[in-house]
Chains A and B, each alone.
Chain A
Amino acid sequence: MTYDWQPLWLTFKLAATATFILCLIGIPFAWWLAHTRVRFKPALEALVSMPLVLPPSVLGFYLLLAFSPAHWFGGWLDQVAGLKLAFSFSGLVVASVIFSFPFLVHPVQSGFQGLPASLSEAAYTLGKSRWQTFLQVLLPNIKPQLVAGIVLAFAHTIGEFGVVLMIGGNIPGQTRVASIAIYDEVEAMNYGAANFYALVLFGVCFAILLAVYLFNKKLVRSAW
């Protein structure tokens, strides 16, 4: 029996892409959130945390509506950038970024908040810009929280099912990721194939987490 590796490959491609984009957006955002004193900060923090408690189908449903070409946002994206987010890989990436946002932002934000203010102030008095300070002083000193955030976001994207089902559908090579494939195979009574996907996901997720724990036990514990 030959196994179809495509859903697995797609899963990891999705997780890697989403995590990469998350880092670009989420880390600076976490820094901003850690220091901002804007009045609507509690509301913002609640919003960021929503994916933790909301059923994935709720978010998926609204994203599906927004991404639809009939909606002004989806229509605008289609017209301006030629982007069709509903039932496409790009749509999955966007949804995953939103859905895994708190998993990256929370540990990184608490990492930044745990650093004494005098660290960045010292760098400023030594003539270093905010950007230099961010890269050379702040980021290296929250490495454990960064690793925890990145691993969590990556692992969470691998495991996502509800949102993907709502807005991705089940298009082979496009949106048929492993978690969907398992559901699909079980429905078709192909327990062997389902077992194959499930086992690989189980093994890979376990290996990633184990590697992190082995790499540095303290690393993850301090962030969780």
Chain B
Amino acid sequence: MIELDIQKKLSGAQGEFTLDVKLHIAQGEFVTLFGESGAGKTTLLRCLAGLAEPDQGSIRVNGTAWFEAQTRLPVQQRRAGYMFQDYALFPNMSVRGNVEFALRKGASRQRAMELIELMALGELQHRMPDALSGGQQQRVALARALAAEPQLLLLDEPFSALDHETRLRLQDEVLRLQRQFGITTIMVSHDVSEVYRLSRRVLILEQGRIAREGSPAEMFGAGQAGGKFSFAGEVLAIEAADVVFAVTLLVGNQVVRVIATAEEAQRLKSGDRVMLMSKAFNPVLVAC
């Protein structure tokens, strides 16, 4: 159980603003912090881990004060597994060395080997990090974070540097491990499909404040529109075609073209993230 209520002054692209967040997270929950870059997502995560300090407020985890007016629990004692965007693997240690380094005092090396096997890294255990692919590095980082027996797992855009296929595979893996260990997890993301796949609860952070909060379906429109199905996509191009506009979208790793009215097209520009929704007709599913 995490109870957090913190304030911290931040300076962003649009000048100074205050990170002001209050939230409760239940044991074993998987929560996503969603928002544009510069909204304060990473800072919030760092405050939790003890890598940054709020100006004021309190953080309590499982009844223990991590941060209060007089209390500053050092990062080393918080036992918050943190997965960095660049994975931060130690270049001087092998895969196995990285995972074993994280073991707590007195923990058996067996645990490191189990995690290595669990993440299917057995074959690679003697490799150095720079001889690994992005996806492999990410699995090492995850194994290493879990080796320290963390009370909660903090993932800072864990899949942003991976290609589409690897991303999907690792998302499944993270989900499986999170359920297996029952570990409270907070993930920072600005990828709608990722949020959909992984978490039940999403907090949308805007200018340091939680603007909205709920299930991914509620947050990203599908719920309120009553859509039968919806996909997150990115606008690649908008072209005028007779009376309507043809919008080219990237959905997943597929390029699709849909039509839009002039009014819709006016609000869009190339690079925008959109939800592609459809209702009131039967989609055809063909096995492939």
CB-based A-B contact count at 8 angstroms: 58
Taking CB atoms, residues of chain B closer than 8 Å to A123 are: 90, 101
Which residues of chain A are within 8 angstroms of B50 by Cβ–Cβ distance? Answer: 124-125
Please measure, in the bound complex, the distance between the C-alpha atom of A122 and the C-alpha atom of B265, giving whole angstroms: 45
A124-142 CB mask vs B (1 if < 8 Å, else 0) is: 1111110000001100110
Are B92 and A125 touching (Cβ within 8 A)?
no
B84 touches A124 (CB 8 A): no
Determine if B101 and A136 form an interchain contact, defined as CB atoms under 8 angstroms apart. Answer: yes
Residues of B within 8 A of A129 (CB): 76
A121 and B79 in contact (CB under 8 A), knowing A126-B144, A126-B148, A136-B101? no
Contact B92 A141 (CB under 8 A): yes
In the assembled complex, how far is the CB of residue B263 from the closest CB belonging to chain A, in whole angstroms?
46
User: What is the CA–CA distance of A118 and B129 in the complex, to the nearest angstrom?
Assistant: 15
Question: Is B84's CB under 8 angstroms from A127's CB?
Answer: no
Give the one of B76, B84, B86, B91 with max A CB within 10 A: B76
Q: How many Å from the CB of B174 to the closest CB on chain A?
A: 17
Tell me which residues across on chain B come within 8 A of A116, comparing CB atoms: 86, 88
Known: A125-B80, A129-B76. A141 touches B101 (CB 8 A): no
Residue of B nearest to A124 (CB): B75
User: Chain A residues with Cβ under 8 A from B78's Cβ?
Assistant: 125
Nearest neighbor of A122 in chain B, beta-carbon distance: B88
Do B86 and A121 have beta carbons less than 8 Å apart? no
Min CB distance A143 to B, Å, is 8
Q: What chain A residues lie within 8 Å of B85 (beta carbons)?
A: 118
Task: Return the chain A residue nearest B52 by Cβ.
Answer: A121
Known: A125-B81, A127-B104. A137 touches B92 (CB 8 A): yes
Asked if B67 is at the interface of the complex by the 8 Å CB criterion, the answer is no
New contact pairs (10) apart from A121-B88, A124-B51, A127-B102, CB-CB < 8 Å: A119-B88, A122-B82, A123-B90, A125-B49, A125-B75, A125-B145, A126-B101, A126-B148, A128-B76, A141-B90
Task: Show 11 residue pairs from A and B whose CB-CB distance is below 8 angstroms, ordered by the A residue.
Answer: A121-B82, A122-B82, A122-B84, A122-B90, A124-B50, A124-B75, A124-B76, A126-B148, A127-B76, A127-B77, A141-B92
Q: Which residues of B contact A (CB under 8 A)?
A: 49-51, 75-82, 84-86, 88, 90-92, 101-102, 104, 144-145, 147-148
8 pairs of A and B residues whose beta carbons are closest in the complex: A118-B88, A122-B88, A140-B92, A125-B82, A118-B84, A126-B102, A124-B75, A126-B148
Q: Interface of A with B (CB < 8 Å)?
A: 116, 118-119, 121-129, 136-137, 140-141, 143
